[in-house]
Chains A and B, each alone.
Chain A
Amino acid sequence: MSNTEELFSNPQLSIQHLPDADQLEMAMLEPAYKTVRYISAILISIIVVLVSWFTLIIQFKDWPYSFYLFVFIVMVSLWSILYSGIAFKYMGYAIREKDISFKSGWLWRHMTTVPFNRVQHCDIKQGLIDRRFGLSRLTIYTAGGQSTDLMIPGLLPDMAERLRGFILSSTEQSADEGL
């Protein structure tokens, strides 16, 4: 890795020795969440396939390419089911003293980091399928807008509760220090 390139000149501190969010041990999500992912991917795929079957095979059956398009959609659906299972392995979260990171994605990887002193509020939700498997999802909201909200699915309810408690107390603490 070519770390010889400096992030910016005149650094007051050595950038390379700052705590690196990538060196963290990522905590995995509950294994049951993999099943939840499979189920929801399958449900969505079934709906998509049914709708496209209805429109392409029944409504527009005269269109010469409708069958190929339908096959393509079925393949994409199968792929998305497969992907949802593989991608599970790449999901994880890590908490440091002052921030929380969440990574996801197998081919397209994303990692979001939110400092606790920017958290607006947190909530815990349970989807229909989540509830059957006894799982919760924790969402952390910042003022940065919807695309930056950090959602950690596949947590045990008491773990989600503990995480929320920790985050909120850290947020409060940093707010107190700020004043």
Chain B
Amino acid sequence: MDSPSHIHQPQRQSPKAVFLILLKYGRIIISTIWPILLVVLINPASHKGIIITIIVMGVAFLSLVYSILSYLKFYFFIQDNELCVRSGVIRKKVLNVPFDRIQSIDFRQNLIHQFLNVVSVRVDTAGSKGIELELDAIDRHRAEELRETVLAYKRTKNDLVSANSESHDQTSDESIVPELILTLSPKDLIKIGMSENHLRTAGIVFAFFLSIADDINQVLGWDVYGKLEDTTSSVSLLGIFATIIAIPIFVGISFLITLVRTVLRYYGLKFWRAGQNFKVVSGLFIRNEKTIQKSKIQLIRWMTSPLKQIFGIYQLNIYQATNMEHQKDKSLAIPGCYLEQVDLTLDMTVPDFRNAIFNTHKMDISIVIRMVFLFGFIPALFFGIMAWRNEGFMQWFLILIFPIAIIMGYAYQKKRRLKIHPDYILSEAGIFGRSYKLVEIYKIQTVQIHSSPIQRMRGLSSLHIFTAGGDISFPCLKDGIAKQARNYIMYRVERDKTSWM
């Protein structure tokens, strides 16, 4: 490692960045003008084709020049505990991000990054006016150095704060030897892939098929819908045969896609604890490296589905404070944890939680009515209209909907729990599976209480608890309990001097 003082001088990214910046622009340009390119490729000799080719070449050349320029004009460095970036080809931009405001520094490597041995660095900041900063490609050791500088700063600051308030010897001088919590083997990956939500993929595949059908319709003039209608409407032997074949193929495709997606995303996943941080590295083609500081964790969720229960695995999500737009990719997602690892992680983040005695509040039975309305009445109306317009197999759905909705409603009501402890709130849910959300009360931001006319008639209301990383909603709670909970949360939050992040 070369002298760390280098990072305090303005410096460019790795020269390899030119290539990556070019690719980035290239991708943006191609994704906007691909239909034109298609025309050129299909019919290169035409008069229009030549002009377009020239334009495309020009754009390509300009973006090369622009990439080189933006590489040359991009400097980053550290100054007075701020990360500074100077950039801009035409208009100069200066961006200073104080270390205090940095939420997370994540690394990302796609195949090319991996090949060139560089990483792209994403710096996220907190607050509703969050700034995001991305370095396209810097050498790995430099990136580590950058992150270490920021984390070291935060550590010393945290120590100062905790030294002032309470005992700090437990965390004082952490040896930063990462402790491996979980590695996913290929076998684990297959388990996860098999137990993912196949219905969702099926939906995507179906939508994809529809859009393709539309394209084929336009380009080749085949009437895919018409053909489909022919086969489905006439109850011919061929139609039944086609359906019998199509369904397993459809299921098979969705299954395969989920499996491939899981492997791509979670390949070689490693979940560490390093001092006050959790770290996850995963991905086959695109390698993601995400870190969350323990003190920034707002909400922890772990869940299992019937399929996952067979393998005894859980999906664990750790949410940190976000500005809402990027919420999804700012959680650490660790699929394929066994209960042991979930417990281990919980012990590390909320040490007393597992011994805590909770008081359990169940959901009022009237939630069943709401569930039947949502999942019974509304779909029934929809299918009813469909069935009425073209009589067919839709009636069968109608007969099934209400029993299913009632069973689902009761299952939901039975499993839904709100568990309250002086320090924690735990929400349990699940119709088929099981899902848990845990919040430490002092991290709560806002509490809302809603009530509909029906709820008021029965003396109920809904409690919504918001943190900076996600929320817990609990409909149909006894009104008195919801209000007590709100009053208690306010009391705790207002008295607690611990910083929520």
Contact = CB atoms under 8 A, between A and B. Distances in A.
Interface stretch (B45-53, B132-140, B484-492): B484-492
Contact of A21 (B456, B466, B486, B493): B486
Given A8-B421, A16-B484, A142-B466, 8 more contacts: A5-B361, A8-B359, A8-B422, A11-B422, A18-B491, A19-B487, A20-B487, A143-B127
Interface stretch (B334-342, B406-414, B440-448): B440-448
Contacts of A11: 422
Contacts of A13: 491
B17 interface: no
A9 B359 contact: yes
Interface residues of A, number: 48
Contacts of A174: 494
Contacts of B321: 143
A10 B422 CA distance: 9
Of the listed residues A18, A120, A146, the one surrounded by the most CB atoms of chain B closer than 10 A to its CB is A18
B186 interface: no
29 contacts: A1-B459, A5-B480, A5-B481, A7-B484, A8-B420, A8-B422, A10-B422, A16-B484, A19-B491, A21-B486, A22-B483, A99-B494, A108-B450, A108-B453, A111-B450, A112-B446, A114-B446, A116-B494, A117-B493, A117-B494, A118-B500, A120-B127, A141-B128, A143-B321, A148-B446, A148-B448, A174-B494, A177-B497, A178-B497
A6 to B, nearest CB: 6
A11 B358 CA distance: 11
Contact of A145 (B324, B421, B456, B498): B324
A151 to B, nearest CB: 13
Interface of B: 126-128, 161, 164, 321, 324, 327, 357-359, 361, 420-422, 444-453, 456, 459, 466-468, 471, 478-481, 483-488, 490-491, 493-494, 497-501
Given A5-B481, A7-B481, A144-B446, A15 B494 contact: no
Contacts, number: 129
Contacts of A21: 483, 486-487, 490
Instruction: Please classify the interface of chain B as helix (H, G, I), strand (E, B), loop, or mixed, using the class held by over half of its residues.
Output: mixed
Interface in A100-146: 107-118, 120-121, 141-146
A173 to B, nearest CB: 12
Contacts of A167: none
A79 to B, nearest CB: 15
Contacts of A144: 445-446, 466-468, 471
Nearest to B322: A145
A147 B497 CA distance: 25
A150 interface: yes
Nearest to B462: A110
Contacts of B445: 114, 118, 142-144, 148
B361 to A, nearest CB: 8
Contacts of B486: 21, 113
A49 B460 CA distance: 36
Contact of A2 (B324, B357, B359, B478): B478
B444 to A, nearest CB: 8
Contacts of B449: 110-111
B128 A109 contact: no
Nearest to A19: B487
Contact of A15 (B128, B446, B456, B484): B484
Contact of B447 (A12, A18, A112, A178): A112
Given A10-B357, A178-B497, A113 B450 contact: no
Contacts of B479: 1
A101 to B, nearest CB: 9
Contact of B487 (A9, A15, A148, A179): A15
Contacts of B488: 7, 15, 18
A143 B322 CA distance: 8
